[in-house]
Copies of this chain bind each other. A is one copy, B any other.
Amino acid sequence: MATIRDVAKLAGVSISTVSLALNETGKVNEDTYQRIWQAARDVGYVANPVAQSLKSGRSRLIGMIVGDISNPFFGKILQEVERYAIEKNHLVIVSESRADPERDLAILEQLSGQRVAGVILSPHGRGREYVERISSYRMPIVMLDHKVEGIDADFIGSDNVLASAMLTEHLIRWGHTRIAHIAGITGLWTAEQRMKGFYDTMAASGLPVDDSLVVRGEYDGDLSYTQAMRLLTRPDRPTAILAANNITALGVLQAINDLGLKCPADISLTCIDDVPWSNVISPRLTMAVQSIDEIARVASKWLLERISSRTPEAIAAREHIVDPRLLIGQSCAAPAQFSTKV
């Protein structure tokens, strides 16, 4: 590969002049500039970003850490982020924490080692130590999806309380009183918020919550399937289920099918999160949809903004909460007789 030295030789100038010229500093004569530019073209020169990184301490790489790469929600976000990044001449490194806080930290450490320009993190930990360790990095970090208290960084996510409140209310309107909630990962912000929205709305409607109907699905399809199986084979089974996210809902749907039940005739189902191609899933789910595009767009924008700022820390931490949209499907109906009378 051609180096700056080759260009200098061909143009008959020193390497520093080449650098000055190619970086458009305006400190070089127009004609020398032209000569250098021509020479660069001729030898096929393209700057070595590794050398630039070593010198500057920053690369044109940005990192993205998510819990589960294969979750389409993150796939979409990744896609948007990558498009935005490439436009700004950055490349993106993705890595997966598998919902493990230790892994969050370990990857962050590696990314920091690579001198990435910044990272978009969907954090899976909490507590003082976690917060401190994350805060110890000097690179710009934008937090996504899960909010962690105490971190002084930009955050972009959805109003999860509102999302499950909307859905719970929807179910209540249909006449359900015995509603189950298959929750997300214990301790995770989104999961807790969604649960809160559920409890709050039930309380506001004066409905009691049977705590045995609130179970952990951990945002995991298989576990949610098992939990749904348990719930649905109880003699006093719920008449409706609020699933914490798309993966959970699919597990539930699977359980419903396997038990030979009908949704919504036998059981109503709603969930938070968007399901890919939800319109071909039968029945079409009633859900609270997050605006993936908006989340991705704001996250990329804010990160790149900090990256290109000469004083990133001067920008106060921002927060962008996206309102979910209620999407009515065909997965809800009035409670079936035999279940309501329990």
Contact = CB atoms under 8 A, between A and B. Distances in A.
B78 A94 contact: yes
A297 to B, nearest CB: 15
Contacts of A71: 75
Nearest to A72: B72
A203 interface: no
Contacts of A82: 69, 94-96
Give this chain's copy count.
Answer: 2
Interface in A144-176: none
A291 interface: no
Given A53-B50, A54-B51, A93 B96 contact: no
A299 B276 CA distance: 27
Contacts of A78: 69-70, 94
A280 interface: yes
A34 interface: no
A296 B72 CA distance: 18
Interface stretch (A9-17, A208-216, A250-258, A306-314): A250-258
A50 B59 contact: yes
A110 interface: yes
Contacts of A115: 48, 50
Contact of A114 (B69, B91, B113): B91
A282 interface: yes
A276 B276 contact: yes
A254 B282 contact: no
Interface in A85-114: 86, 91-96, 109-111, 113-114
A50 B114 contact: yes
Interface of A: 46-51, 53-54, 59, 61, 68-72, 75-76, 78-79, 82-83, 86, 91-96, 109-111, 113-115, 221, 250, 253-254, 257, 276-277, 279-282
Given A48-B115, A221-B277, 18 more contacts: A50-B50, A50-B53, A50-B54, A51-B54, A61-B93, A69-B79, A70-B79, A82-B94, A82-B96, A91-B95, A92-B93, A92-B95, A250-B280, A253-B280, A257-B279, A257-B280, A280-B282, A281-B282
11 contacts: A51-B54, A79-B96, A82-B95, A83-B96, A93-B93, A93-B94, A94-B94, A253-B280, A257-B279, A276-B276, A280-B282
